[in-house]
Chain A
Amino acid sequence: MSQKIVVGFDGSESGRAALTFAVEAARKNGGELLIAHVLEWSPYSFLTPTELEERHKRRGEELERAEKAILAPVVESVKASGVAVSTALRYGHIAETLISIAKEEGADQIVIGRTGHSSLSSRLFGSVAGSLAQAAPVAVTIVP
């Protein structure tokens, strides 16, 4: 049966490990891959007036940078390995956004790395892996 796997990818070491794992899994059972990159964002954060003014511009720059520097390079290599691949680039709470992508796309599985970039904040506010394990509607694989 063909599977659709959402892999959360942030460009980090452990993100890379998750991606490798997901590519392998997809190739084994002929599944397809959706590489999701979520830019951490809360609509309830506090910004200075200057930041408000420039927000729309910065958002464009951030999306472009993420597309170019994080998604584009890995998409090429995944394609080369013969797995069907698409991408998603969104703003939001990382775990919540991964869940909503999985729901929208009718994915069967979410794959993520154990730790992303900021381990201090995850200790304070709970990690993405922890939140997903509790709230995801589909199977979650956490790659060490």
Chain B
Amino acid sequence: MKTHYKAAAIAATAWLAASAPAMAQSIDERVNEIFANSTGWFVNFIFSPFPGTTFPWIVAWLVIAATIFTVYFGLIQFRAFPHSIALVKGDYSDPNDAGEVSHFQALATALSGTVGLGNIAGVAVAIGIGGPGATFWMILAGLMGMASKFTECTLGVKYRNEYEDGTVSGGPMYYMTKGFAERGIPGGKAMAILFSIFCILGALGGGNMFQANQAHAQLTNVIGDYPGWITGVIFAGIVFAVIVGGLKSIAKVTEKVVPIMGVMYVVTALVILLMNANMIGWAFGQIFEGAFTGLGVAGGMVGALIQGFKRAAFSNEAGVGSAAIAHSAVRTKEPITEGFVSLLEPFIDTVVICTMTALVIIITGQLVSDPETGLYLLNEGGSAIQTVDGNSGVALTSAAFSSAFGWFKYVLAIAVILFAFSTMISWSYYGLKAWTFLFGEGKTTELVFKVIFCIFVVIGAAASLGPVIDFSDAAIFAMAVVNIVALYLLMPIVKRELDSYLSRLKSGEIRKFH
């Protein structure tokens, strides 16, 4: 283990030394350049389209998987929905387990890792490129993704490691190794290693750099322009204090404020929708029409579909495997119950929150269309729809909300920073779990990862949106490539658990406590 640590430390030092002369240039530009050059090949591979089309294979991969799980488990996301709510409420929780991790807590923690910038900035990117029609595909992908989440979280709990001291570790790397062994399938260990590598990259990308980047964008939007590395260093300092210094108070405050912010965000969106109630019908008309015709966006219907699916996957992480890590700590005798609870996650994240963002952007008229043809006008490069003030990403969402309430951009800035922060804390944990799976547990090994994580916060804040968002997507989707293969191979186990549980629920063997 020592050698790994040393190698990583040397690499980190070398990297820092290499970037020092960059002070002469703008630090931002230099970081950007190194970043774009070193990650381009990876991004190109993940997003390469099917030959002769513009349809990335990875998007098809996720949607096909979600469809297969939906069919295989017989529309479980709709059948089990009421039971999922009862589980979260604690109707089936043994009172003697009070003080253990409840279903609600596992769900809330997993949600605070997923609800974040994807819901605010990501949706704006999707709508900005794919038009209102992207919303339709996003909701559809969210609904189907519920079945993927159900599958992975059930397995996460079933094959978690419970250590003697009472702590638990779970996630795809554990169901790959233990589940494959149980079914007599070879290659579990190799897949687990591959998954862990991608998980570390995902933690540094979507779970870190994307967050830092968008938080900085929002800050400059409110305060005025200043170099990204300043935000990066401040953020890195706070993250360091929490994950290395063990400063629980900051994490505790965030964990409490984030749900309040989430509720406030949805309520504000609802108020804006009610203020424009007469346009809601029109907005849904745009969404449906755009979904099948594209309404002039780049790539037409396929363009809208790709954007919608991509953003849904990036926002709710269904099939990615990260949630399986977060949900593993729950106290339950029935792994399937956590599967039921976890299927609410894409629903809340994508079907509710993302849709709110999309509707507000559409209804407040941020997208510029040709009054005669009704088609959307593209910007100069032809890559995205023209917006009223030329905004994209989080700035577009901010402009949409601010057009109704001027003060909202300050609230949104705080929300973005807190969401970014809580997502970083969650992903630092997912990344750490993958890291310790590879290199073993131990204080030094863990510290190395945490320091690398903090360095990437600075890089993320300094790099411009393009390379960061591409790399973030690529890393997260790479996790899904490995994870979904494992889910296919292990889904009969979930099916068995499901049938057994449902029959016992019917026979009354599993009863309500409350």
Q: In the complex the two chains form, is A43's CB within 8 Å of B105's CB?
A: yes
Q: In the complex the two chains form, is A52's CB within 8 Å of B98's CB?
A: no
Residue B331, interface by CB 8 Å: yes
Are A49 and B165 also in contact (CB < 8 A) when A39-B99, A43-B98, A43-B104 are? Answer: no
Tell me the minimal C-beta distance from B32 to chain A in angstroms.
Answer: 31
Are A49 and B113 also in contact (CB < 8 A) when A55-B329, A56-B331, A60-B166 are? Answer: yes
Residue A125, interface by CB 8 Å: no
B107-125 interface with A by 8 A CB criterion: 108-109, 112-113
> A60 to B166, alpha carbons, bound, how many Å?
8
Of the listed stretches B218-226, B251-259, B342-350, B504-512, chain A binds B251-259
How many of A's residues come within 8 Å of B, CB to CB? 24
Q: In the complex the two chains form, is A59's CB within 8 Å of B168's CB?
A: no
Chain B, residues 162-187, CB within 8 Å of chain A (1/0): the string is 00011111000000000000000000
Q: In the complex the two chains form, is A90's CB within 8 Å of B98's CB?
A: yes
A85-103 interface with B by 8 A CB criterion: 90-92, 100
Across-interface contacts of A54 in B (CB, < 8 A): 166-167
Are A48 and B425 also in contact (CB < 8 A) when A39-B99, A43-B105, A59-B100 are? Answer: yes
> A90 to B255, alpha carbons, bound, how many Å?
25
Across-interface contacts of B259 in A (CB, < 8 A): 46
Partner of A43, one of B93, B252, B426, B430: B93
Closest to B113 in A: A49
Q: In the complex the two chains form, is A46's CB within 8 Å of B112's CB?
A: yes
Are A44 and B102 also in contact (CB < 8 A) when A49-B113, A49-B425, A52-B109 are? Answer: yes
Chain B contact residues, CB within 8 Å of chain A: 90, 93, 95, 98-106, 108-109, 112-113, 165-169, 248, 251-252, 255-256, 258-259, 325-326, 329-331, 425-426, 429-430
Tell me the minimal C-beta distance from B101 to chain A in angstroms.
Answer: 5
Tell me the minimal C-beta distance from A37 to chain B in angstroms.
Answer: 12
Instruction: Sample 17 A-B pairs with CB under 8 A, ordered by A number.
Output: A41-B98, A41-B99, A46-B109, A47-B105, A47-B255, A48-B251, A48-B425, A49-B430, A52-B105, A53-B329, A54-B166, A56-B100, A56-B166, A56-B167, A56-B331, A92-B98, A100-B95
Apart from A46-B108, A46-B112, A53-B167, 11 more pairs, CB < 8 Å? A39-B99, A43-B103, A47-B255, A48-B109, A48-B425, A48-B426, A49-B325, A54-B166, A55-B100, A56-B167, A90-B98
Q: In the complex the two chains form, is B329's CB within 8 Å of A52's CB?
A: yes
Closest to B169 in A: A53
> A12 to B93, alpha carbons, bound, how many Å?
31
Q: In the complex the two chains form, is B256's CB within 8 Å of A46's CB?
A: yes
Q: In the complex the two chains form, is B105's CB within 8 Å of A46's CB?
A: yes
> A78 to B144, alpha carbons, bound, how many Å?
61
Tell me the minimal C-beta distance from B223 to chain A in angstroms.
Answer: 29
> A142 to B425, alpha carbons, bound, how many Å?
44
Tell me the minimal C-beta distance from A55 to chain B in angstroms.
Answer: 5
> A53 to B113, alpha carbons, bound, how many Å?
15
Across-interface contacts of A46 in B (CB, < 8 A): 105, 108-109, 112, 255-256, 258-259
Closest to B103 in A: A43
Q: In the complex the two chains form, is A57's CB within 8 Å of B166's CB?
A: yes
Across-interface contacts of B252 in A (CB, < 8 A): 48
Tell me the minimal C-beta distance from B111 to chain A in angstroms.
Answer: 10
Residue A118, interface by CB 8 Å: no
> A60 to B90, alpha carbons, bound, how many Å?
21
Residue A121, interface by CB 8 Å: no
Across-interface contacts of A59 in B (CB, < 8 A): 99-100, 166
Closest to A97 in B: B98
> A32 to B329, alpha carbons, bound, how many Å?
40
> A54 to B425, alpha carbons, bound, how many Å?
16
Closest to A93 in B: B98
Residue A45, interface by CB 8 Å: yes
Chain A, residues 36-80, CB within 8 Å of chain B (1/0): the string is 000101011111111011111101101100000000000000000
Closest to B325 in A: A49
Closest to A44 in B: B104
Q: In the complex the two chains form, is A47's CB within 8 Å of B104's CB?
A: no
Tell me the minimal C-beta distance from B149 to chain A in angstroms.
Answer: 17
